[in-house]
Chain A
Amino acid sequence: MVRLLTYSAVSLTCVNAAIGLWLIAYRLTNNRRLRAFSVARERLKPAVLAWIDGDDEPPSQTNPTDYLAIADLLASYGRAVRGGARKRVADLARETGMIERMVGELRARRGWRRALAAYRLGDLASKQDAAQALLACLGDRDRRVTAASARSLGLLGAVEAVEPLVRGLASGHLTRPVGAHALRLLGAEASDSLVGMLKAEEEEVRAMAAELLGLIGNVGRTDQLIEVLGDPSPEVRVRATRALGRIGDSSASAALQVTLKDPVAFVRAAAATALAKVGNSDSFDQLVLIAQNDVFVSAHAAAYAAAFLRPEDVEQLANRAHAGIHLEEAADLLQVVG
């Protein structure tokens, strides 16, 4: 037994020493690698910038560190520039074989490698280079890959991605803020597909389409969104209401006032906020009534909406007895914020 314990202790001491040595070696090599990368990046920066500005001479690369530094520089500039400069980024990435390599990486066995390739393609590639490959990745089993692909498709302006993006969002397979941001980047071109999806069979698809129409903010879609206010699903109604508020088209006022009587409190709250956003002062009395008598969530939203629409009136109301806690809060905030 003593011998077993002794052998174990000696073996573990060796393991400890090995980890300690590895720690030192790892830190040293890592520091050296990072330093070399940083030096290469600084050295190549002017050449990459000159290329993006239209210089014919591509930056020279003599070793793998240079390649990584150019890729990093192109990715950061690719995120920041548009138009001709963005095309130059894609041209250089193509010439240096980066895009081909990354498209190949989309088939890698490890999820993180596929995700990284999908992410970088959005910064470096052009739509023609990568849109089809990225579209296929929207069905990837790894959520990191679908999120990175959605982001890149948005950056590349791939309108053909609208429907798979909305379906991915509705099914929950795609990270909501990322998918929504991509669709916003696609902008008005996504609107037609989204309007079609307002009539989809699945509740989640209808809800997501309504929300996204609001984010894109196309005034021409107000009528279709008003129609959705009668949807049987409260989730769809609340998103359509929010969308109308975001668009801010005053022609939605009457429909939103009706929505203030919705049986679901969250929908009423969304309607109150939306009415403030479209600037409908006619709904003031109705909002005050809700602020004083409704459940917390809708009363709170109604008080804020009323204060936004007619601040002086809310301040006067709040001075009366039994004004209600929500109007009091709104009035006090008006004093502070103005």
Chain B
Amino acid sequence: MGMLVDVLSATVIVYFVVLNLLYLGFTLLAWRELVRYRHSRESSPVDEVFRSPLTSPVSILLPAFNEEAGVVDSVESLLHLRYPEFEVIVIDDGSTDGTLAALREAFDLVPVRKALQTEIQTAPIRQTLFSRKHHNLWVVSKDNGGKADALNSGLNASRYPYICAVDGDAVLEQDALIRVMMPIVDNQTVVATGGIIRIANGCQIDRGRVTEVGLPKSRLATLQVVEYLRAFLVGRVGWSALGGLLIISGAFGVFKRSVVMEAGGYSVGTVGEDMELVVRLHRHLREKAKPYRIAFVPDPVCWTEVPEDLTTLGRQRRRWQRGLAETLWRHRSAIGRPGMGSLGWLAMPYFVLFELLGPLVESAGYLVIPIAAALGVLSAEYLLAFLVLSIVWGTLLSISALALEEISFRRHPRSRHIARLALYALVDNLGYRQLSNLWRLRGLVDFLRGKQGWGVMHRKGLNRSRDGVPRQEAA
């Protein structure tokens, strides 16, 4: 038994050291990239791209299932985007609340028979509607089939060469689309790009525009602000630089339509349809030996609401982990396969070892403690030193993400917000991290048990004008 404890502790320590060195490497890489990006922003020809008739038009797809509370604001934010030519296609995925009625009323929708392509099979379409007020707004009403199915319906209805997938409760900044399109405009081999997701809880939003950036009142949501900064400004920037970006958030991502169609559209059999699509695009293009790039752009902002209660957050994290497991399992044959480049040799092995199995190893670490204590082989000094080190290291990563935010975008103009975030960066390793680990572990169990579906989400809507409305996200 003592031997087992030794092996377990050695595994946990090696794992801890490797993982944190990798995180540190990503932080340094992200630092370099963000400094480069910040400098380039001043000479970025955004105005010329906006005025040029050669800028590719974009179809924005917004799948909505029971998004009555926030969908009108989201669509408003899309209609105000600064982009030369685009259409907005809202796909009402068989909502049972007032989503469609709210859209009808806000945008003066009337039924129009729309010619839809049938390249990808979807649940039946009930009706297509067109806005009298905004001649670039369509609504496709369909039977419920889940988010991926709704996005596929949007793909069939879209008519422009690029699609931008946006969540039903997301609010895009006015320049977000043009900025996320910049890598595509600049280089035709870029087939997909994603922008940064920031947390809208606590921000002032007026008619689909963030008018004042604030911090959430809820402690849980504030912890997520730090977490999102770490994930996007370190993780996504780093992986993008290495050519191994596996996730473009479903809340805001642009894809070349023809490539998505070639690859078969969104996969309906997973809750991680955003990651699954990106991994499939990597594989598809590598198998065809086509030059391509999938990029993350740290500047264009999509604001979204995050859960403020443990139950909803826990469900979300379990679902994310299940989605990750489903995607990695589905594409396991790409790991270590010749010709798969950074996907098969770097990104996927990393995601399996550290993102998928991370919760298992971390939990093993926590398990070792009572076992070792029971066996009388626990060194209290050692345990304390290791715990302190892991917390301090975690804090270093969080505070570095804050520093990255400060040198690059400074989205939080008030100094006290930064001070508050710094404080949360200190404490997010004390409890929140362990809780996240537990949720991820349960997500892994859900995957092993073959669980399907999305679970219940509680959303208040970004304008905070109404009480929370509990809803079912998708069947």
Q: Which residues of A are at the interface with B, using a C-beta cutoff of 8 A?
A: 1-2, 5-6, 8-9, 12-13, 15-16, 19-20, 22-23, 26-27, 30-31, 110, 112-113, 115-116, 118-120, 143-144, 147-148, 151, 172, 175-178, 180-182, 184, 211, 215, 296, 299-300, 303, 325-326, 328-329, 332-333, 335-337
B389 near A9 with CB under 8 A, answer: yes
Given known A-B contacts A5-B386, A9-B385, A112-B39, A333 and B112 have beta carbons under 8 A apart: yes
- A143 touches which one: B159, B187, B389 (CB < 8 A)? B187
Q: Which residues of A sit under 8 angstroms from B40, Cβ to Cβ?
A: 112, 115, 144
User: Hey, which bits of chain B sit against chain A, CB under 8 A?
Assistant: 36, 39-40, 42-45, 48-49, 51-55, 110-117, 130, 132, 135, 159, 185-188, 379, 381-382, 385-386, 388-389, 392-393, 395-396, 399-400, 402-403, 406-407, 410, 415, 418, 422
User: Quick check: A23 and B402 within 8 Å, CB to CB?
Assistant: yes
Q: How far is the CA of A12 from the CA of B23 in the complex (A)?
A: 14
For B52, what are the chain A residues with a Cβ–Cβ distance below 8 Å?
A: 176-178, 180-181, 184
Chain A residues near B400: list those with CB within 8 A: 19
**What residues of chain A lie closer than 8 Å to B186, measured between beta carbons?**
143, 147, 175
From known contacts A116-B39, A119-B42, A300-B159, infer whether A176 and B112 are also in contact, taking CB-CB under 8 Å. no
Q: Is the CB–CB distance between B418 and A23 below 8 Å?
A: yes
Q: How far is the CB of A11 from the nearest CB of chain B, in Å?
A: 9
| A215 engages B53 (CB within 8 Å) | yes
Which of B54, B112, B379 sits near A2, CB closer than 8 Å?
A: B379
**How far is A220 from B403 in the complex, measured between Cα atoms in Å?**
58
Taking each of A26, A30, A177, which has the highest tally of chain B beta carbons within 10 Å of its own beta carbon? A177
Q: How far is the CB of B126 from chain A (nearest CB, A)?
A: 16
How far is A120 from B422 in the complex, measured between Cα atoms in Å?
37
Whether A2 lies near B385 (C-beta < 8 A) is yes
| Chain B residue at minimum C-beta to C-beta distance from A169 | B54
**B402–A9 touching, CB < 8 Å:** no
Q: Which of B42, B53, B188 has the most CB of A within 10 A?
A: B53
Query: Could you show 13 A-B contacts with beta carbons less than 8 Å apart?
Result: A1-B382, A5-B386, A20-B422, A23-B406, A147-B45, A148-B43, A175-B45, A180-B54, A211-B54, A215-B53, A300-B115, A335-B112, A336-B132
Q: Once the chains are docked, how many angstroms separate the CA of A299 from the CA of B40?
A: 43
Q: A26-B403, A178-B49, A336-B130 are in contact. List 11 more A-B contacts (CB 8 A).
A: A16-B396, A23-B399, A30-B410, A147-B45, A148-B43, A148-B45, A178-B45, A178-B48, A181-B48, A329-B113, A336-B132
Measured CA separation A182–B116 after assembly (Å): 37
Report A-chain residues with C-beta under 8 Å of the C-beta of B381: 2
Query: Min CB distance, A71 to chain B, in Å?
Result: 12
How distant is the Cα of A115 from the Cα of B381 in the complex, in angstroms? 55
